[in-house]
Structure 1
C-alpha cells in the first residue's frame, strides 16, 4: 500500500492498522450522540457500526481506508474511507474523522484530497457523500472542495447528499483489467509469453520471488510449465489479469497443502503485477479473488511469506493479513544479497 507525507502529515492506506478501531469507535460514539441516540461504549453501538469499530479490516475489505499521522506522532489521528463503487454508483466517502486534539492542523483536508485523488485516478466520474445538516464545519469543508447538494439517495431527515464531479477532461476511460482463473491448458498456453514476462519483469524490478537476476525467459517459461502440471493435479490454482488488449498484467497462485492435517490451509504464492500496471489496485483485486476462492472451497487459513520491508508488505497488511514473525537472512534477493522474510497469515470466514 502506498504512503505519502504532505505538510508534516503522513497519509497511508491501511485498513488493518491497530489504531483504526479507536478512531472509528470515537466517530460512531459522537455520531450516535449527535443523532440523539447516545451510547457509552462501542459494544452498545448498532451492530453495523460496532462491526466497523471492532473489525475494520473485514468491514472495509473492498474499500480504501486512509489514515493521517502528524509528524512525530506514534499513531494516526484521522481517518477516512473511500467506498468502492457498487451497482454502477460513484464511490462514496465515509467516516471522515479527526481526533479532537489533532484538529485545526489540516488532517481532514489532506485526507479528503488524497481520497479524491485516488477516486479520480480510478476513472470515477464523480464522488459522493452524506453529511448531517447540523455539522457546519464538515459541510464547509466539503463545499470548499467543490461538493454540491444533489437529489437525496437517503431519505433520513436532516441528512444532506452531496456530490463532486471529477475532472475527466482529456483523461481517456480505461476499462479495468479482467481477472480470471486459468485452466491448466491456459497456463501452458501463456507460459512462454505473458506469464514468463511477468516473472522476468518482477525479478528485473528487484522482487524476491525465488530467482536470481538475470532471469532467462526460457527458465521462467519452464517454471510456469511446471505450475500447469500442478494446476492439472489440483495442487495449485492460478488467476491472471488480462488488459483490454489481451496481454497479461498480473497473476496470483494459491497452493493447497497436501498433508492430511493441513487440508484446511493454503498458501498465496507469486502475486505479480507488471510494472506498467501498478498503482491501480490490481494487486489487491488479484489477492481478493484468490482469498474469496479459498474461502468458497473450504479453506479456513491462508499463509504467505514476503521480503521484509517490500512494497508487498503494505498490500498484505492493508488487506487484513497478520505478521507472524520475521526470519533474518531467509532468502537472497535477485542481486544475491540475503534479506529477511516476514511470514503472514489470514483466517477466512
Structure 2
C-alpha cells in the first residue's frame, strides 16, 4: 500500500489521532475515560496542543493513498541528556490497520533517527500489546534493562548501525545490477552532486571537511540554489569562486564554535544537501540559534531530504541546550511550506527585505521554533 509520510506537529488531524491513542491506552490500563478533557493533564496536553508539547521532537503522520487525512502518527523524541532518541505514540486509526501504515511510520522514524547520527533508538510497550510488540521485534528491537519501573512495561532498544549496514549492502547490490544514477556536475567542481537515493545520509562536517568541500560539493550546492531562484544572500550568476570563499568563512566559524554544518551525502560520497546552525554569541542570546542555508540540490528534491536536514539540526540544537531557533525565508517560497510543515511559527513579514537572485526586492517572513 502506498503511504505518504509527512512531518507536521501542527496538522489539524493530529489532536484526534493522539486523543484516540490516549483514550484507548487509558482503557487498557483500567483507567477508562470517555473524553480527552478527562485524561490526565500530561496526556490531555498532548491531545489538545501537540505542537507545543512536541516542539523539540519529530512528529510524523501517514496518509494512505487516496485518503484526504492522515490515518496514523508516531513521535520521535529528541535525544536528551545523552540518552538515545525514543519512539512514542505510534497509532493507526482502527479502520486503517493491517495496511502497512504502522510499519511505514516506524521505518521513517528509524531512518530519521539514523540520519541524525544516533547510534540507537529506544521505546516502551505494554506487554499485553501483542501486535505492536511483534512489529517492534520484526524491526530488530530487543528487550533491555528497564529505565521505567512501571509494572508490565517493556523497554526495547534497536542498534542503528545494523540499519546503516543494511543500507550500504542495498547500495552495493543495486550497483552490481547496474542501477543507473543521474549525476549533475556544477562548474569546475570535482565533487559532483548526485540525484537522491535511499542511501543518502546526513552527517556533521568538521571544520576541515567544510574547507575540503568548499570549492567543490558545497560551492555546487550554493550555486545551484542561486541558479534555481533561491534567495540565500547572493545575486545570479554566482561564481563558484565566490561560493567557495563563503564556505571557507563558514569553516572558520565552525572552527570557532559558532556554526555547525551538516551535509547529506549520496552513495558515492557526493553532496546532495546542506544545513547550518549559527549560535548567538551575545551574553543574553546564548539560548538561541539560527537555521541558515538549508540547501537541497534540485536533482535531490522531493524525497524529504530538506526535512531530514532540518530535523538533524533541530535535534542537535535541543541536545546542546538551545531552547529557541529562528530563521528567515522569502515569503511565498517553497521553503515556507517546509518550515510550516515542520512546526515552525511565522513571526511576521517584512516587505522588500532582500533581493532575489535577479535583483528584485522581495518580502521576507521570519520564523521561530521553541525547543523547550
Pairwise TM-score range, normalised by the shorter structure: 0.5 to 0.7
Establish whether residue 62 from structure 1 lines up as the match of residue 58 from structure 2. Answer: yes
Residues 190-225 of structure 1: CA deviation (Å, up to 9, x unaligned):
100000000011111121111122211111111111
- What is the SS of the residue equivalent to 1:261? coil
- What is the SS of the residue equivalent to 1:262? coil
Q: Which residue of 1 aligns with 2:70?
A: 79
Contact 1:198/1:274, CA 8 A, preserved across alignment? yes
Gap regions ≥5 residues in structure 1: 1-10, 71-75, 99-107, 125-152, 164-170
RMSD of aligned alpha carbons:
4.5
Q: Which residue of 2 aligns with 1:130?
A: none
Establish whether residue 156 from structure 1 lines up as the match of residue 153 from structure 2. Answer: no
Q: Which residue of 2 aligns with 1:15?
A: 8
Provide the rounded CA distance (Å) in 2 between the counterparts of 1:32 and 1:283: 34
Q: Which residue of 2 aligns with 1:307?
A: 330
Contact 1:61/1:319, CA 8 A, preserved across alignment? no
Offset, 1:345 = 0.8
Offset, 1:247 = 0.8
Provide the rounded CA distance (Å) in 2 between the counterparts of 1:310 and 1:275: 15
Q: Which residue of 2 aligns with 1:271?
A: 294
Residues 244-265 of structure 1: CA deviation (Å, up to 9, x unaligned):
2011111111111122211111
Establish whether residue 280 from structure 1 lines up as the match of residue 303 from structure 2. Answer: yes
Indicate which of 165, 187, 195 corresponds to 2:218. 195
Establish whether residue 255 from structure 1 lines up as the match of residue 278 from structure 2. Answer: yes
- What is the SS of the residue equivalent to 2:58? coil
Establish whether residue 45 from structure 1 lines up as the match of residue 39 from structure 2. Answer: yes
Q: Which residue of 1 aligns with 2:364?
A: 341
1:167-182 aligned at under 5 Å gives the runs: 172=174, 175-182=198-205
Offset, 1:343 = 0.8
Flag the 1:203–1:44 CA change in 2: closer, same or farther, 3 A: same
Flag the 1:22–1:172 CA change in 2: closer, same or farther, 3 A: same
Write out the 4+ residue segments of structure 1 that deviate beyond 4 Å after TM superposition: 32-37, 46-49, 82-87, 115-119, 157-163, 171-175
Contact 2:23/2:33, CA 8 A, preserved across alignment? no
Contact 1:328/1:340, CA 8 A, preserved across alignment? yes
Offset, 1:336 = 2.4
1:284-295 aligned at under 5 Å gives the runs: 284-295=307-318
Contact 2:55/2:370, CA 8 A, preserved across alignment? no
Offset, 1:94 = 2.7
Contact 1:63/1:81, CA 8 A, preserved across alignment? no
- What is the SS of the residue equivalent to 2:284? helix
Establish whether residue 96 from structure 1 lines up as the match of residue 93 from structure 2. Answer: yes
